[in-house]
Amino acid sequence: GAYLSKLEEVFKKAKLSETPLSLVVFDLDNFKKVNDTYGHPAGDYVLKEFSRLIRTTLIRQGDFFARYGGEEFVILMPGCPLRRAVEVAERIRATVEKHDFMWDKTKLIVTSSVGVATLEVEMKTPNLLFDKADQACYVSKRAGNNRVSTI
């Protein structure tokens, strides 16, 4: 999709110009439970509202935000070193946790597990950057959800 070609493009640019590139992977916690408890329209609402929240308030100009798979999202952050990407990821995590996701007068509990990785010299393909962020996301999940991890 659009995300993969964008990843390829910014990966090449960052490699050539030797500038930082960070990638953030978000996974909505216990998303299946929202669908099972309130139905798929509630799940769709959560995905749309999460996207809206990030697009409108939480990403910088030049960052690229996309949905990747079911309840997984990514942000590509050209020119952004790891430390700053972690700060942005943490701000998003905290904002999502505090946000009122209201469905049919019910406040849904929505949190996200987040993984952050940055381009390293030895990474030859964009997949390696994605895999590292994805593994960091998995670390957040294993550690009990609703947190930001790097590896």
- Residues that are catalytic: 71
Q: How far apart are CA 50 and CA 34, in angstroms?
A: 14
Q: Which of 118, 117, 109 is nearest to 146 (CA)?
A: 109
Please state at what angle helix 40-53 crosses helix 31-38, rounded to 10 degrees. Answer: 140
Question: What φ, ψ does residue 29 adopt, rounded to 5°?
Answer: -75, 140
